[in-house]
A and B are shown apart, each in its own frame.
Chain A
Amino acid sequence: MIDAILNYTFMQNALIAAVLASIVTGIIGTIAIEKRLISMSGGIAHASFGGIGFGYLAGFEPIWGGLAFAVGSSILISRLSKNTKMKSDTMTGILWSFGMALGILFISLAPGYMPDMTSYLFGDILSVSTSSIIYMLIFTIIISFVFIMLYHHLIIYLFDEEYSKARGINTRLLEWVVYIMIPVGIMVLIKIVGIILTIALMTIPVSIAKLYFKSYGRVILASIIISMVFCITGLTLSYYINIPSGVCIIVISTLIYLVLLFMRRRLQKRHHAQRVHGS
C-alpha cells in the first residue's frame, strides 16, 4: 500500500482526496446536522446529478454542471421554504427526484455510448484525477476560509437563530453562507463516496464525535480525524478488493458507529446503576 502511494499518481491523488473530503466532512457535516439540513443535503446531492448529466451532454467538465445545480437547488429550497407556505422537505423531495431524472435524461441524449456513472453515484477514490484534486482543493480552501472567518457568528446562528435575530445579528447573511457552503462541500464529497452515499459521510463521523466531545470546535476536529480514518480505510480496501470506495467507507463507518453507540449506551447504563446503588 505504501509502495503504491509512493509510486502511483492515482494513489497519491486518492490520499489527498481523502484528506480534503475529511476536512469538508468535519465542517459541512456539523453545520448540516446542527441546522437539521441533512435531508436537504441529500436532496442537493441528488439534484446535482442533473448538472452532471448536462455537463456530459454539453461537453464540459460534469462537476461544474453538478455544482451549478447543487447551489441552485440549495438556494431554491431556502427561498421557497422562507417565502411560501411550501415546506422545505417537500421541495427537497421534488428536487431530489427531478435532478436524478434530468441527469439520466441528459446522459441518454448525449451522443455515443452511455458513460459509466457508477463513480458519480457510489464514489471512486481511486479514479480521482489531478484536475479533480485541483477543484477539490479550491472548494476545500474556500469552505475552510469562510468557516474560520465567520466561526463565532456561525456558531451562534447554528445554535440559537432566534437569539441571534433578537441580538440584531444579520442571520440572513449567515443563512446565505450556510446554504452556499453545503452544496460546495457536497461536490467535494461526491468524488469519494458518490451522490447516493454523501449523506452518510456527512453524518456518521460527526455523530461519532458528538458521542465523546461537548465543544463545537472539538467535534469538528474529531470529525475530521474520524472521517480521515474511514476514508483511508476505505481507500485501502478499495485498492485491495476492488469495490467502490464509497461502499467500503460507509459500511465500515456505519458498523463502527453502531458498535460505539451500543458501547456508550451500556456504559451510561452501568454508570446510572452505580449511582443508584451508591445513593
Chain B
Amino acid sequence: MTRNPIVTFENVRFCYDEVCAVSDLNFTIYEKSLTAVVGPNGGGKSTLLKLLSGLIKPDKGLINVNDSHAIAYVSQFVDFDTSFPITVLEMVLTGTLCKKVKPFCKYTRDQRERALNSIARVSLDGYEGRGINQLSGGELKRAIIARALASDADIIVLDEADGNLDVDAARELYGILEGLKSDKTILVASHHLNDILDIADSAIYVRRTATEYASSMDLKQKLGGRIIL
C-alpha cells in the first residue's frame, strides 16, 4: 500500500533564546497513520509538536504540511478552567465553530451531528449534558480529543495526552486513538513506551534531534526494555 506523505520536516531548528531545544529535525509523517513521539524529558518532544502545530515558528529549516490539511493540537496540560459552566456537548461543539468572528454565528444540524459523532467515537455517549467539572481526568482528555475530532482537522497532535491518567484510563485512551487512525493522522507524545509503541505505526525518537523509525516495533526492539525517561 502506498503511503502519502502529509508532513515533512527539513533541517528544522528551534531555540529558546540561547538554548536550542531541537536541531536538524528531518522526518516525514504519512497520512492516516499513528506516530509515537518518544524520548527523554527535555528532549524536545513538546517543541517538535508545537512546531508541527504552528504554535511556534522554526528558527531554521522548513516544515511542509500538505495544503488543505488542518491541525488540531491537544496540549500536555488542561489549560482551561475546569469549573467553567460548559457541558461536554457545548465544549465539543466549539471545535466546529467557524473561525471568522461573524454576527449571529449558529451551530448547524451538521455541526451538532459532527459533535455527537465525535463524542461517540471517544466513548463518551451519554455524557453530552454533563458539566466538564463532573468528568474524571481521563474523561476530560477524551472530551478534548472529541473537540479536536469534531473540528475540520485531519492531523491531530497530542502532547502527552496520557499524562496524569491511571493505567486503565491511559489504555482506554490508546484504544480510542488506535480506532481513529483509519481516517486521521495522529501524532502522540508519550512516556508509556510499551503501550504507545504497540499501537503506533511508526515512531520518532527525539533527543535534541529526531531519529525516524518506519515501524514502531523497530524502536521497541532497539530500546529493548531500556528506560529512557
Contact = CB atoms under 8 A, between A and B. Distances in A.
Contact of B94 (A149, A160, A213): A160
Query: Which of B73, B94, B103 has the most chain A CB atoms inside 10 A of its CB?
Result: B94
Given A152-B94, A219-B85, A159 B105 contact: no
Interface in A51-78: none
A278 B55 CA distance: 48
A158 B84 contact: yes
Contacts of A156: 94, 97
Interface in B95-126: 95, 97, 99-101, 103-107
A159 B80 contact: yes
Contacts of A162: 75, 79-80
Nearest to B73: A166
A167 B70 CA distance: 9
B75 A169 contact: no
Contacts, number: 76
Interface of A: 30, 34, 148-150, 152-153, 155-156, 158-160, 162-163, 166-170, 173-174, 210, 213-216, 218-219
Interface residues of B, number: 32
B180 interface: no
Interface of B: 53, 55, 73, 75, 79-81, 83-87, 90-91, 94-95, 97, 99-101, 103-107, 129-131, 133-134, 147, 151
A214 B87 contact: yes
Contacts of A174: 101
Interface of A is mostly: helix
Query: Which of B53, B85, B134 has the most chain A CB atoms inside 10 A of its CB?
Result: B85
A215 B90 contact: yes
B73 A159 contact: no
A213 B129 CA distance: 11
